Amino acid sequence: MPLDASDLSAIWLTIQLAGLTTLLLLLVGTPIAWWLSRTQSAWKGPVGAIVALPLVLPPTVIGFYLLVVMGPNGPLGQLTQQLGLGTLSFSFAGLVVGSVFYSLPFVVQPLQNAFEAIGSRPLEAAATLRASPWDTFLTIVLPLARPGFITAAILGFAHTVGEFGVVLMIGGNIPGKTRVVSTQIYSHVEAMEYAQAHWLAGGMLLFSFAILLWLYARRRHTPFHP
């Protein structure tokens, strides 16, 4: 059989991680992207730079500092221990936290581009009709920015699926708990099980190519792209 039980477990865990991370990224990234697209504050540059840090920092650096923060002596680790939750390091919850931070720019930037492309005229027209800011956002902004949300969700999901450095630093490689597809491939290579590694790596290659092909095809039909 090309894929054994441990491979299927890693695939299922990866889907769960990417799905939950994408949902949280849309919830967290939408207000950040909206603020970045509308504000004239001096904080726009520093906040934008913080959001974009995962694009330039090595994943192991991000993973190391997240591990320190979530560890037993870190501020977040101490908080979760006081709440009776233990520490987030080497757990699925820790992987989610790390994935949200690591994939944040892949969601925020497409959303910011989409919001900026809307311009101010539709918002001004809604204001003249006495629409509340919340109504304007729900009925005007969200429909117009729909392509940006689709791109952001696809990129966030795909980027989370392909994580390795951050996942390995924060979660280790615990079967059934933190072992995702990328670390499962690593385990196969370490054990010189190249046939199994080929099946998983080939699947990742085809998945990534399909995502990029779809995104490039959409650029011909919509101005909202990362």
CA 196 from centre of chain: 27
Confidence (pLDDT) at 223: 47
Distance of alpha carbon 165 from alpha carbon 174, whole angstroms: 15
Per-10-residue mean pLDDT of the chain, 226 residues long, equals 82 94 96 93 92 91 91 89 87 93 94 90 81 84 91 92 89 88 91 90 90 77 46
The number of angstroms, rounded, from the C-alpha of 224 to the middle of its chain's C-alpha atoms is 18
Q: How far apart are CA 14 and CA 88, in angstroms?
A: 18
Site of tokens 């499962």:
184
CB 196 within 8 A of CB 7: yes
Q: Compute the distance between CA of residue 192 and CA of residue 24 in angstroms, rounded to an integer.
A: 36
